[in-house]
Chains A and B, each alone.
Chain A
């Protein structure tokens, strides 16, 4: 039987420290006006960046649950990821084109 520290501590560290790096990055590109939400394309990129973070969290979560035999949780995360991906694709294709 795998204990919590073997199963989830690396996950928490990865998305805790990695999440901190990601947030600092987002803060810098907002603060520097490198990413401007008033530009249509940039708004799409903002969504993609946020999506990417949760997408990887989902993949690692899904495989962790699958490995420890929690298939219901794994399936649930899989469904959430499919829904997120569908939503992102729909949003990207729905938006009018712009610079």
Chain B
């Protein structure tokens, strides 16, 4: 133990009180889960702001506070690189992958692979994605263990066991709606806590000027040294995180994809993603890194108060303990890290359940009612929690969480990332080519791992070879190239798939995807949203009816898709339904809906509805 942080009973009362609030909050929203569609995708009904805040809590994962604080303490402001290099892929995400997953209504990423290729590729994708998510869950649990280790003084694995049980309980019963709302709360809390640490830290060292001047110019540079040292260099991290990590997180993180699919429309999904990357990520990078910068400043300005033996992964806890000055504040900050852990892990556990149910269980056990699948989904969530906790063993041996995570990204993401990318953007990419990406790529990656000095060194950009951990980050470049190379070569040598088979599944046929989504040709005529009173009347199943005038205002025709939500925008779409325009009536400002829609949307009698045409 590098530090002896003393805590009293009140500290633990606050921590467990926080967990109780989170559990209660999640459980409250669990009542919105009526079907597996709700459990996994929340009925595709939420506004962008709600989704973007919940994405913050997922992205700023549990590992973030610890791993970035460690690297920030060691290497300075360049710890922000990871959060500041996501924009390069935004065109392809916003106008490629996001509309494809939304309009094709895929239930999971492997589901996309079956539609684009065949069931065999789906199996390979399922294995790859489950490995990726379980690994991510394991890193989350390991982080929590390392956060609490200096405080509890008990075995790391005992802590992981306890945390896994608490996390497992509410995700198992909560589902995606609970996850989104819990993450919304936790997103705010962790941003607040991170900024609080920064303000208190600046105050602790004596003001911003002292803080700024204490740090060397090199420490303050936003990008790391180009190719050294081997455990933290710009070019390696660019390929590992900026490319493999960013694409992995945006394109193949089933948990994140499910968030976007919970948006009420593709446009809202785009807004959530753009706002997140442009506004929230720069804030979050300060939130998760600043403890390291503050720690370095403390070690220079008041070295007597800094414990020089602090392990890198304990820098965050040490700094939080020093600067908060009160046990209540310290407990709150630690609870915020717990919040981040829960947010990352709950999203992934829910995503693992989605993949297992939709890609493994449903194809084997067919024709059961939805309640059966919902029950199995809950059992799988509990199982995923247990497997994730057990998998922490694989990551324990890395010097820091940052390096564990870096190695994990470099190794696990390239095959799936390349397959998704070529699948979406390259029409010649065929089923044999997809097999080659997964299998040929895996073999070449294994060879590269076995003989790094022969195979990876040509791509090392001058990074020093470290025999203990060879090319932790830059191996992502080699791995990506061999996976892409295998796919491209086989793609060029085999017959391209037919255009018909790929309709709606590539960026080249998005109009078809929109048509599939709607069931007929999309209506892009401009229109406005409107406020309407609702009356229960018998309509055709799944339809709502507006007046002719109101339909003109909305630019809608019979058969178009419509979204109806409670007039209170701050609910973010929690009370809403999707429907279809039926034959018009003559009462302006009134919408006829069915009793079933009232119950599904949880509409209040006294509240009007906002209606807007979707497609």
Contact A60 B218 (CB under 8 A): no
Whether the pair A34, B267 counts as a contact (CB closer than 8 A) is: no
Please give, as numbers and ranges, the residues of chain A lying within 8 Å of B234 by CB-CB distance.
10, 13-14
* A32, B342: Cα distance in complex, Å: 40
**B243 neighbours in A (Cβ, 8 Å):** 21
The reply to whether the CB of B99 lies closer than 8 angstroms to some CB of chain A is yes
Q: Known contacts A67-B220, A99-B527; is A25 also within 8 Å of B89 by CB?
A: yes
**A26 and B217 within 8 A (CB):** no
Q: Are A18 and B96 in contact (CB under 8 A)?
A: no
The answer to whether the Cβ of B92 comes within 8 Å of any Cβ in the partner chain is yes
When C-beta atoms are compared, the residue in chain A nearest to B235 turns out to be A13
- Stretch of B5-13, B80-88, B120-128, B305-313 contacting A (4+ beta carbons < 8 Å): B80-88
Q: Within the assembled complex, what's the spacing in Å between the Cα atoms of A10 and B221?
A: 10
User: Quick one: which of B273-312 are within 8 Å of A by CB?
Assistant: 274, 277-278, 282
Contacts of B510 on A, CB cut-off 8 Å? 32-34
User: Out of A7, A13, A21, A67, which one reaches B88, CB within 8 Å?
Assistant: A21
In the complex, A45→B271 CA distance in Å?
9
Given known A-B contacts A64-B221, A67-B221, A34 and B99 have beta carbons under 8 A apart:
yes
Which stretch of B183-191, B223-231, B367-375, B532-540 is in the interface? Answer: B223-231
Residues 5-43 of A, flagged 1 when their CB comes within 8 A of B and 0 if not, give 111011101100111011001101100111100011100
Are B95 and A34 in contact, with the CB atoms below 8 A?
Answer: yes
**Residue picked from A25, A33, A41, A64, most chain B C-beta under 10 Å:** A25
Looking at chain B's contact residues, the main secondary structure is helix
- Report the Cα distance A39→B223, complex, angstroms: 38
From residue A24, how far is it (CB to closest CB) to chain B in Å? 8
**What is the CA–CA distance of A81 and B278 in the complex, to the nearest angstrom?**
13
The answer to whether B91 touches A26, judged by C-beta atoms less than 8 angstroms apart, is yes
CB of B77 within 8 Å of the partner chain:
yes
Residue with the greatest number of chain A CB neighbours at <10 A, chosen from B84, B221, B507, B525: B221
Contact with A45, one of B88, B94, B511, B524 (Cβ below 8 angstroms):
B94
How far apart sit A79 and B465, CA to CA, in the bound complex (Å)? 43
> Contact at B84–A28, with CB atoms within 8 Å?
no
In the complex the two chains form, is A2's CB within 8 Å of B88's CB?
Answer: no
How many B residues touch the partner, as a band? 35 or more
Q: How far is the CA of A17 from the CA of B425 in the complex (A)?
A: 19
CB pair A18 B242 closer than 8 Å: yes
A66 contacts across to B, CB distance below 8 A: 220
Contacts of A9 in B (CB 8 A): 226
Q: With the chains together, A18 CA to B89 CA distance in Å?
A: 9
List the A residue with the shortest CB-CB distance to B215.
Answer: A67
Q: Using Cβ atoms and an 8 Å threshold, which residues of chain A touch B88?
A: 18-19, 21-22, 25, 53
Among A7, A49, A59, the residue within 8 A (CB) of B94 is A49
Chain A residue at minimum C-beta to C-beta distance from B76: A67
Contacts of B508 in A (CB 8 A): 32
> Does B363 lie at the interface of the complex (its beta carbon under 8 Å from any beta carbon of A)?
no
Q: How far is the CB of A44 from chain B (nearest CB, A)?
A: 10
Q: Flag if B526 contacts A67 (CB, 8 Å).
A: no
Given that A32-B507, A67-B217 are known contacts, is A40 also in contact with B84, CB under 8 Å in the complex?
A: no
Task: Determine which of A14, A32, A35, A63 lies in contact with B221 in the assembled complex, contact meaning CB atoms within 8 Å.
Answer: A63
Is the CB–CB distance between B87 and A53 below 8 Å? Answer: yes
Complex: A68 Cα to B224 Cα, angstroms? 14
Is B181's CB within 8 Å of the partner chain A? no
Q: A14-B85, A52-B278, A97-B528 are in contact. Are A64 and B223 (CB under 8 A)?
A: yes
- In this complex, which of A33, A56, A60, A67 has the most chain B Cβ atoms within 10 angstroms of its Cβ? A67
Distance in Å from the Cβ of B308 to the closest Cβ of chain A? 25
User: What is the bound-complex CA distance between A29 and B278, given in angstroms?
Assistant: 20
The reply to whether A52 and B221 form a contact with Cβ atoms under 8 Å apart is no
A68 B217 Cβ-Cβ under 8 A:
yes
How would residues 78 to 99 of chain A score, 1 for a CB under 8 Å from any chain B CB and 0 otherwise? 0000000000000000000111
By beta carbon, the residue of chain B nearest A6 is B225
Judged by a CB distance under 8 angstroms, whether B200 is at the interface is: no
Name the residue on A nearest B220 (C-beta). A67
> How many angstroms between the C-alpha atoms of A9 and B226 in the bound complex?
7
Contacts of A6 in B (CB 8 A): 218, 221, 225-226
A21 — which chain B residues lie within 8 A by C-beta? 88-89, 243
- Taking a contact as CB atoms under 8 Å apart, the answer to whether A17 and B87 are in contact is no
B249-283: contact bitstring with A at CB < 8 Å (1 yes, 0 no)? 00000000000000000010010001001100010
Chain B residues lying within 8 Å of A98, measured Cβ to Cβ, are 526
Please, could you name 9 A-B residue pairs with CB atoms under 8 Å apart, sorted by A?
Answer: A6-B225, A22-B90, A28-B91, A28-B507, A52-B278, A63-B222, A97-B526, A99-B524, A99-B555
Question: Which A residues are closer than 8 A to B by beta carbons?
Answer: 2, 5-7, 9-11, 13-14, 17-19, 21-22, 25-26, 28-29, 32-35, 39-41, 45, 48-49, 52-53, 55-56, 59-60, 63-64, 66-69, 97-99
8 shortest interchain CB distances as A-B pairs:
A25-B91, A67-B220, A10-B223, A98-B526, A63-B222, A10-B234, A29-B95, A25-B92
Known A-B contacts: A14-B238, A48-B274, A67-B221. Give 16 more (CB < 8 A): A6-B226, A9-B226, A10-B225, A10-B226, A14-B234, A14-B242, A18-B238, A22-B90, A25-B89, A29-B95, A32-B510, A33-B510, A53-B87, A63-B220, A67-B77, A67-B218
